[in-house]
Chain A
Amino acid sequence: MGTVAHRPRAWLEWAETEEGELVVRIGGELDLDSVPGVDPAVDGLIARHNGRHVTVDLGELSFFDSSGVTVLIRIANGSGSMRIRHANPAVRRVIEVLGLASWLGLESD
């Protein structure tokens, strides 16, 4: 029960595919309150894979606002190049409205 109650609202994890592609997956609800919860994971990611190309998969991100964008900006600043895939329409629009679509490499999938 305790682990369920304290389960973070947002999570971030990364893995390398067999082809050597670094894929970061972000899920849950990312906003002003839950961003601090994933910050340590972002720190770890940047420390280990600074300057690499990153694919960010937002397929499991259900809620996202302009505070959540800070996580994507940090990953973008820490990587050589970046693309975002599988963002749902609401997530897409938050990125687009902020004028960050091309800067963050938002794919039009």
Chain B
Amino acid sequence: MSVKPLRRTGILVATVCLVVTVVVSWASWTVNKHSNQRLLSLQMRQVATLIANEVPVVSSMLLDAAHVADATQADPAVFQRFVAPQLASSTSLASVSLWRIDGNQRSLVAKAGVEPLLPSDRSADSFFAKLKPGRQMFITGVLPGSPAHFGYAVRTGGDTSGLVVYAEQRLPPNRHVAVPKNSPFGSLRLAVYLGRNPTGSQLLEATAPVPIPGNTHTEVVPFGDTVLTLVGSSSEPLAGPLSATLPWIVLVVGCVVAVVSGGAIEYVSRRRALAERLARENARLYQEQRTIASTLQHALLPEVPQLDGVQVAARYVPGVAGTDVGGDWYDVIHTEPGRCVLAVGDVSGRGLRAATTMALLRFAIRAYVAQGDNIETVLAKLGGLLQFDTHRQFATVLLGEVDTRTGRITVVSAGHFAPLLITGDRAEFLACRVEPPIGVSPDVRPVPASVTVDGPATLLAFTDGLVERPSELIDRGLERLRAVSLKTGDRPLNDLLDGLTAALIPDGTEDDTVILGLRWAR
């Protein structure tokens, strides 16, 4: 059975579908990832720009305050008046203070806001030591406290003495800031660190727990003598929900298609395998039935006897249409030395019923001939064996009596074709009166017809399969037989019969066909 390879086809189709699905799904996942990454970097750059724009605002406030202090010889009152509105307008600005630097000494001149965290920090000295005069802003780093601060400062004056404006900014509790969901960056998880290393201690603020999860993007913004490092990721697909779910949709749909198409192919394959098996089985049964039919028919037909001076040969060709046995037969009965009776007949219809009637008639003829009846009597007696109204069958029968020594041929016919006689350059159907077929009428009075052959001659008796063709006048078929026989009549008898079969029914015939030939050599 060829089921196994067919199964492989189903699995192959399903596998190919799955591979295509995985590839397409992977491709759409990659595209989605790239667009998300690209959109994230765009958003992060926008955030970085916003923050970078804030830096000059902060530094110019300090510089302005420093200029005011310079211009007023560090008048504390003026300084405090100047920075008060800044403190008032900002929630995160914790303090602004003015310091005088003289060599390694520093002293607080004025202060606004809360107490700065810086002086209590040990790194304060080194921070002040690194301040240089100019527009450069210096950053302290995160100052621990509650809340924590970070400080930034500018210095004026010369290398050894001058003024420092120092501000501290509060960091939000737990460094967490909430961002409204509907803001342009609502979907962004963002953390801002002081310096280049995004470590927890230098975290200024974050919109989500740190470290920021997912695929992150990092931007660096200059901030005074250091930088701000922004780390961000997106909490939702930036390229849109469809783009994000597309790979999954492709995967699921692809898997379903793979399974369904694999299953469908498998189903169709199995149906085909079944159909092919049934067709083979049918063909085998048909052949077997045909073989049975043919075997049965051949079993019912006799071996022809060889007579003194007369050669006998016969052919039976089964019909191509059905698998039934037919009702055609022939017989040659050797009655006494130099005398024989030949019979050719055809029972109407097909199948076992026809074959049975055929056998009945054939053996009845043998019995009547054995009793010594002549052929007219035999034919008349056959009329009593078959009644059309009872059996729904009739039979055409040609009986012939041949005297092999004298060459005399006598024939009687009940509904059957007269035989063809080929002598030298002539081929003629014997002129013979045809009575109604056996079974039609119980009262058969056959009229015998005789001819005597002298020298080489061939007598051909046959059934209708040899000469009948649908939608053709029967005379055309008879004429075709006569013409071919005349042309090939001098061939050896077996060759002649084979040649006639090949020429007259080249593609076989619906009906079965019998040819019986008798040949006088001289």
Contact = CB atoms under 8 A, between A and B. Distances in A.
Interface of A: 32, 63, 65-67, 69-70, 73-74, 77, 89-90, 93-94, 97-100, 103
Interface residues of B, number: 28
A77 B388 contact: yes
Contacts of A98: 396, 415, 434, 436-437
A103 B473 contact: no
A29 B452 CA distance: 42
A99 B444 CA distance: 11
Interface of B: 346, 348-350, 388-389, 392, 394, 396, 413-415, 417, 433-437, 440-441, 464, 468, 470-475
Given A32-B349, A67-B348, A93 B434 contact: no
A99 B417 contact: no
30 contacts: A32-B350, A63-B471, A65-B470, A66-B346, A66-B396, A67-B348, A67-B349, A69-B348, A69-B394, A70-B388, A70-B392, A73-B388, A73-B440, A74-B388, A77-B388, A77-B389, A89-B473, A90-B472, A90-B473, A94-B474, A97-B417, A97-B434, A97-B474, A98-B415, A99-B434, A99-B437, A100-B415, A100-B437, A103-B436, A103-B441
B414 A99 contact: yes
Contacts of B348: 66-67, 69-70
A98 B471 CA distance: 17
A93 B474 contact: yes
Given A66-B464, A70-B392, A89-B473, 9 more contacts: A32-B349, A65-B468, A66-B346, A90-B472, A94-B474, A98-B436, A99-B413, A99-B434, A99-B436
Nearest to B388: A73
A74 B440 CA distance: 9
Contacts of A70: 348, 388, 392, 394
Contacts of A100: 415, 436-437, 440
A107 to B, nearest CB: 17
A93 B394 contact: no
Given A67-B348, A70-B392, A77-B388, A93 B473 contact: yes
Nearest to A63: B471
Contacts of A99: 413-415, 433-437
Contacts of B440: 73, 100, 103
A89 B474 CA distance: 10
Contacts of A74: 388-389
Contacts of B474: 90, 93-94, 97
A89 B472 CA distance: 10
Contacts of A63: 470-471
A87 to B, nearest CB: 13
Contacts of B392: 70
Question: Which of A73, A89, A90 has the most chain B CB atoms closer than 10 A to its own CB?
Answer: A73
A56 to B, nearest CB: 16
A93 B436 contact: no
A70 B414 CA distance: 15
A33 to B, nearest CB: 10
B420 to A, nearest CB: 14
Question: Which of A65, A93, A99 has the most chain B CB atoms closer than 10 A to its own CB?
Answer: A99
A32 B473 CA distance: 18
A73 B442 CA distance: 13
A98 B414 CA distance: 8
A67 B511 CA distance: 11
B227 to A, nearest CB: 88
Contacts of A97: 415, 417, 434, 474
A63 B474 CA distance: 12
B394 A73 contact: yes
B466 to A, nearest CB: 13
B475 A93 contact: yes
B346 to A, nearest CB: 8
Nearest to B473: A90
A73 B394 CA distance: 10
A74 B437 CA distance: 14
B381 to A, nearest CB: 18
B164 to A, nearest CB: 108
Contacts of B468: 65
